[in-house]
Structure 1
Amino acid sequence: MKLHLTVHEARRGTESLRVVRPARPPEHAGLFDDAWWLNAYVDRDAALLMAGLWTLAAGSPRSLVHLPLRGPAPPAGSGRLDLVLLHHSLQVAPSRWKGLRSRLSPGRPRTVDLRLPEPAEEDHPSPHHAENRDRFHQGVHAETLFMTGSARTFRQGAAVFLDVARNGPEHTVAHPDRAYRHRHYCRNAPCDARFRDLHVEYREAPAPGADAARA
């Protein structure tokens, strides 16, 4: 897939940190901090973009990938989050993100070609296997979820979003008395046992005028 990006620079002491964002954030995507889950709701386009960004994070260990999310309003009791993906070797503390974000340079456009990982390509070791310790770490700061991991974990996360993009649209329950259709298909991106898994659910974009009809 072709991924259209903007590339920014932020100073970190004597070093410069590269921050990558999608040229156009997804219109129908939300990430929410709920009581028991970290919930991501995506339509097909948003899921494909997420798959591309997670693939980019797997192959760009010196870049921080930032996805601003301004989708639907959060459910009652939940907090809306942006998303940051970073390789564990970068060692950027979430507490520094707000300051770094305020010092970003103007973005430079860039387009990259990516091969998305197929779900079957990513192995999932048994819970007793040593490699099972290779799981995402999390941090929440400045209304942003930080997902820190290895190239392997980011490829696995990309495969989760690709699976949702491909299979979510097929799971439909029609409601003839409503102006929209509810579809349910979900996958989890597993995290370290000290954190919550990321629950990824397919949500179809509302039909034109559907929001007004439900108001």
Structure 2
Amino acid sequence: MELPVVIHRARLGAAEFRVVRPGRPLTRAVLVDHDRHLDVYLDREAARALAGLWMLAARSPRSLIHVPLRANRPPGGDVPDDSGSRLDLVLLHHSLQFAPSRWKQVRSRLGPGRPHTVSLPEAERDHGMTDADHEARHHRENRDLFHQHLHAETLFMTGSAKVFRGTAGHFLDVAREGPGHVPVHPNHPHFCTQFHGNDGTLGDAREIHVEYCDRWSS
């Protein structure tokens, strides 16, 4: 897939940070903090973009992938209570060792940036995981896990290239299946997927519910 992005650079003292944002705003996507879990609501275009950004995070260990979402309007229609806090999202490789406490300063120093187009492979769900793969995911020394931090109204998803690649398909599933599911299931127009605690991909991280929505506030 071809993913338009904007590349920014910000300097804090001797350190320079590379921040990548979507080239087009993901206006039909929101990330909501419901304390015990996180909810992502999105349409088809936003789901495909997030799949691409997840893949980009897997191959960009020196970059912060910033997805501005907290100013977006919530979806309309029959969705769960939107009383939680809306958040922005940052994806980053664990080797970057970026301290979220520095994010507010980095964010304030971002200029207009440089447009760029990234060529990425399509994300795929790992439906063929073997028993050995499943056991390895749940081994106590498994380092391919997501960890989350919350700072400056932003959720930081920190992980390895492997865990980003292995979970990007959550969003591609929503993009592929959500639009077709809703019209033919009028009594249950709910299509979702989930980063589940039993999947072996979450370390110090809450579960994430990802739901397709076709009705949005204007």
TM over 0.5: yes
Paired with 2:51 and 2:142, the residues of 1 have a C-alpha distance of 22
Q: Distance in 1 between matches of 2:95 and 2:151?
A: 19
TM-score of the two chains, using structure 1 as the length reference:
0.85
Partner Cα distance (1:68, 1:128) in 2: 32
Given residue 73 of structure 2, which amino acid in structure 1 is its aligned partner? P
Question: Is 1:174 matched up with 2:186?
Answer: yes
Q: How many Å apart are 1:131 and its aligned residue?
A: 6.3
Q: Is residue 2:103 matched to residue 1:97?
A: yes
Partners of 1:32 and 1:159 lie apart in 2 by 20
Q: Is 1:18 matched up with 2:21?
A: no
Return the TM-score normalized by structure 2: 0.84
| Greater mean alpha carbon deviation, residues 18-27 or residues 123-132 | 123-132
Matched, 1:72 2:73: yes
Query: How many residues are treated as equivalent by the alignment?
Result: 202
| Distance (whole Å) between structure 1 residues aligned to residue 20 and residue 138 of structure 2 | 36
Matches within 5 A, 1:125-204: 125-126=134-135, 128-130=138-140, 132-172=142-182, 173-174=185-186, 183-190=189-196, 191-204=201-214
SS at match of 1:138: strand
How far 1:77 sits from its partner (Å)? 3.2
SS, match of residue 126 in structure 2: helix
Range moving further from structure 2, 127-136 or 166-175: 127-136
TM-aligned CA deviation for residue 27 of structure 1: 1.9
Classify the secondary structure of the residue corresponding to 1:171. Answer: helix
Asked whether the 8 Å contact 1:33–1:81 carries over to 2, the reply is yes
Q: Determine helix, strand or coil for the equivalent of 1:104.
A: coil
Q: Which amino acid aligns with 1:66?
A: H
Asked whether the 8 Å contact 2:148–2:204 carries over to 1, the reply is no
**Aligned equivalent of 2:51:** 51
Structure 2 residue runs of 5 or longer lacking an equivalent are: 76-80
In structure 1, what is the Cα distance between the partners aligned to 2:127 and 2:109? 39
CA distance in 2, matches of 1:131, 1:166: 34
Distance between the aligned counterparts of 1:30 and 1:156, measured in 2? 22
Deviates more, 1:91-100 or 1:68-77: 68-77
Residue 109 of structure 1: which of 98, 106, 115 is its match?
115
> Corresponding residue for 1:39?
39
Give the C-alpha shift of residue 105 in structure 1: 2.9
- Identity among equivalent positions (%) equals 53
Write the distance in 2 (CA, Å) between the matches of 1:54 and 1:60: 10
Q: CA deviation at 1:25?
A: 1.4
Tell me the equivalent position of 1:178: none
Q: Which has the higher mean CA deviation after the structures are superposed, 7-16 or 134-143? A: 7-16
1:93-120 deviation line (CA, Å, top 9, x unaligned): 1111001100113200101111122113
